[in-house]
Amino acid sequence: MSWGRYFMRIRDWINKGVVIGLLASIFLCVIGSAAGAFLMDREYLATDSEGIWMSVIWLLAAFFGCRIALRGVRGQLLLHGTVQATVLYFLVWCVALAVSAVPIFRVNGWYFTGCIFGGSILASVIPAGKRRRKKWAGAKTKRHKKDRQ
């Protein structure tokens, strides 16, 4: 009896979609952090609300990154979204430890955790919109040829 059929393989967990979703999440976080720094420099964003700003940025980054990662996945969306959030959370902690940002995590760590996992779970639970079919250019030209005859 093979136990492998009861568990997902590693290539099912971390595939090309997950990597692209993680890169999109990190890119969105960098853009959001730069926007937050710009707003704080211009004094539109108060220093006290930095944690809230970054929490919202992580929520949006996790949501859109997980949405990108879940394209083409059928079934077990919640499991794939949880794997995406876990890997993203691990990367966030590695970066935080690398740049000595642990004191910031002591203050807002629960918010970051909730936003990362919440964004990924929301992306897994909310159904994707229906894709509209593109009209074929060839169909228009065939009809046009019939009208000319």
* DSSP string covering 79-120: HHHHHHHHHHHHHHHHHHHHTT-HHHHHHHHHHHHHHHHHHH
pLDDT in tens, 74-87: 777 787 788 888 88
pLDDT grade, residue 148 (50/70/90)? low
pLDDT grade, residue 60 (50/70/90)? very high
C-alpha distances (whole Å) from 55 to each of 10, 29, 36, 109, 113 are: 29, 10, 11, 9, 9
pLDDT in tens, 69-115: 888 777 777 877 888 888 888 988 888 788 877 666 777 778 888 88
Is the pTM higher than 0.75? The answer reads no
Q: How many CB atoms are located within 10 Å of the residue 93 CB?
A: 16
Which tops the pLDDT comparison, 66 or 103?
A: 66
